[in-house]
Amino acid sequence: MPDTTIPRYFQLFNEIAIIEQLARAMFEARLPDGMLVTHFSVLNHLVRVSDGRTPQDLARAFQTPKTSMTHTLAGLERHGLIDMRPNPRDKRSKCVFITDSGRRFRDGAIAALAPDLAEIAEAFPQEEIIPLLEKLTALRTWLDARRDRG
Amino acid sequence: MPDTTIPRYFQLFNEIAIIEQLARAMFEARLPDGMLVTHFSVLNHLVRVSDGRTPQDLARAFQTPKTSMTHTLAGLERHGLIDMRPNPRDKRSKCVFITDSGRRFRDGAIAALAPDLAEIAEAFPQEEIIPLLEKLTALRTWLDARRDRG
DNA sequence: CTTGTTTAGTTCGATTTCGTACTATATAGT
DNA sequence: ACTATATAGTACGAAATCGAACTAAACAAG
């Protein structure tokens, strides 16, 4: 392996980390004060994927420790955006439901974000983004599988 | 704009966020206990870009608030990996230098990471990565410039 | 030179993240 | 059924992140 190889992969992850940071800042600037991307992501997941999941399901979906998810869900519940009820299938567990208020909040956030995304879509049209997305998905899938192995 | 457009850009940033998280976990698993990617990144920057920068320069380079950089640098100094001296050009300011110990630490970290990166390089050869990297760099540059504008 | 504004860095406090340890329940093995 | 182990969720504490307010120094305008 030539010694220009390693730096390139470093750089790859570095670019990804910077984009993540910039995108997070951009998103959060559109959310009401105190609301973080974390909160939005959970609400979005509840709408897109499904309601009624357990906190543990959500923690796994976001690759985050369950204690972090407890914290995030507590915040969402405090704001009345989700509702947690006992899990009839498992008395240790709970089911997380999005409330009407949470659904409105999520829709509002998407609407608030849309102009930014539209601007990005103008600068980077879909034809460019689709193959990029494919490669990133492949990389993410691989890293994810690797993590499970070792 | 068809309504499949927005979700695709959502998904793009989502994949990026997940990769960032997985890569961070992978990197940190190779660093000694208590050492974070943040610390390594600063040391690496001091070697790759240049020594003797001010904390503010570093904060700008990493797009992070200066208070966070103060914190990171304090940790590095406590471990003897960097050295901070008064800035002869500006009495408010400091210059950050990497120590021999810091350099060894950085080299060791890279060596410890190399097998992981080699594994990735095997699964995703450079021919695949180079265009990906180009597109990501373009996206990062654009987001960065946009942030400066407004 | 004096005054007002900007900038570098730090301190402080609020919040997030997340590892450890714990309780309660579920599941597997015998 | 009984015991051992695994799992769901939480409480708690340590560390990281970062905004606001502060001090000291630089710089700009008159």
Kind and range of the H or E element at B113? helix B100-123
For the cut 60, the answer to whether the pLDDT of residue A132 exceeds it is yes
Q: Looking at residue A34, what is its pLDDT? A: 84
The residue that leads in pLDDT, B149 or A45, is A45
Task: Tell me the pTM.
Answer: 0.90
Neighbouring residues of B114: CB distance < 8 A, sequence distance ≥ 6 = A6
For the cut 80, the answer to whether the pLDDT of residue A57 exceeds it is yes
Strand D, CB < 7 A, residues 83-142 of B: 90-92
Q: Looking at residue B3, what is its pLDDT? A: 67
Q: Looking at residue B34, what is its pLDDT? A: 83
Q: Is A105 exposed, middle or buried (0-12, 13-18, 19+ CB in 10 A)?
A: buried
Q: Looking at residue A133, what is its pLDDT? A: 95
- In SS3 terms, A53-117 reads as ECHHHHHHHCCCCHHHHHHHHHHHHHCCCEEEEEECCEEEEEEEEECHHHHHHHHHHHHHHHHHH
The reply to whether B11 touches chain A by the CB within 8 Å rule is yes
Query: To the nearest whole percent, how much of chain A has pLDDT over 70?
Result: 95
- How distant is C1' of C14 from CA of B69, in Å? 18
CB distance B16–A19 less than 8 Å? yes
B43, B69 Cβ separation under 8 angstroms: no
A82, A43 Cβ separation under 8 angstroms: yes
Kind and range of the H or E element at A26? helix A5-30
For the cut 80, the answer to whether the pLDDT of residue A148 exceeds it is no
Confidence of residue A126 (pLDDT cuts 50, 70, 90): very high
Q: Looking at residue B23, what is its pLDDT? A: 93
Q: Looking at residue A122, what is its pLDDT? A: 94
A54, A87 Cβ separation under 8 angstroms: yes
- State mean pLDDT over A24-46: 93
Q: Which residue is nearest to nucleotide D27 (CA to C1')?
A: B90
- Phi/psi for A53 (5° steps) reads -75, 160
Q: Looking at residue A1, what is its pLDDT? A: 58
Distance CA A15, CA B134 (A): 10
Nearest CA-CA distance, residue B6 and chain A, Å: 7
Low-confidence stretches of chain B (pLDDT < 70) are: 1-3, 148-150
Q: Looking at residue B150, what is its pLDDT? A: 55
- State mean pLDDT over A54-76: 96
Nearest CB neighbour to B129, from listed A12, A117, A140: A12
For the cut 80, the answer to whether the pLDDT of residue A5 exceeds it is no
B20, A131 Cβ separation under 8 angstroms: no
